[in-house]
Amino acid sequence: MQSSASIWSETAAWVEAIGAIAAVVGAGWVAASESRATRLREERAATAALLKEERGVLATKTAALNLAILASTQIHDLHVLLVDDAWRGRVARVSASRALLGTERMLTSFPIQSLSDAPAMVEFSRFPASLATAAEIYSNLETAVRAADEAERGAIFDACNQQMARLDAAAQRQLKSLKAALGLATPEPVAPELLAPELLAPEPPAAAPRDLVSPPLALVVRHKPSRGAS
């Protein structure tokens, strides 16, 4: 009886020990699974936050570039209008400089610190000054044209046209610099002569297909000698 009781007690102890080990292993597996799930959730959240931040930065850069394009386009259009004789006759009655005030306010109200890049901030800050210069040139032109005689207006338009030409060229250069500073510059097309010569070499003409029909063989006809011949 004592031996059977000891066997059962040892068996119970082993079962209890195995159960404890299984419980510990199961708890460790559950904890590791929860840890992996938590780590995956944290990685997804970090990736989503990074993507959101990158999209916000890209949206800010795009907005700044669009405002700069709007300003440079208005300056270019005003420069082109000075060459038009029909528009010159309207300068005394229509104030074109007022069209620049709305764009200038948008440029000055843009949160330039959101660009978070000193070269981009410097390049963007040039456009409000360029618009203010264009507005001042046109304002002086309107005042001078209204006060001058008809014969003197041509010289006034020519002088303002030269100023707007320089301002237009400077605005185009500033726009290229801003694109480069923002990292939004489009790559220039490669000249064809700079490509690999093997890409420009014309393909050799295709060989003419060989005639699949073999040429007729020459038939040799042998004449049998006649029986009466000696």
* Residue pLDDT, tens place only, 1-28: 555 666 667 676 777 777 778 777 777 7
Read off the DSSP letter of residue 97: G
Quick check: helix, strand or coil at residue 123?
A: helix
Computed on alpha carbons and rounded to an integer, the radius of gyration of the chain in Å comes to: 44
Average pLDDT score over the chain: 75
Question: How close are the terminal C-alpha atoms of the chain, in Å?
Answer: 139
Q: Between 34 and 130, where is the model more confident?
A: 130
Cα dist. 82→36, 103, 163 in Å? 69, 20, 11
Q: Quick one: which of 157, 176, 154 has its CA closest to 165?
A: 157
Q: Quick one: which of 137, 174, 178 has its CA closest to 158?
A: 137
- Fill in the amino acid letter for 122: V
Give the model's pLDDT for residue 37: 75
Q: Quick one: which of 66, 72, 57 has its CA closest to 126?
A: 72
183: left (phi over 0), alpha (psi -120 to 50) or beta: left
pLDDT band, residue 100 (cuts 50/70/90)? confident
Give the model's pLDDT for residue 155: 87
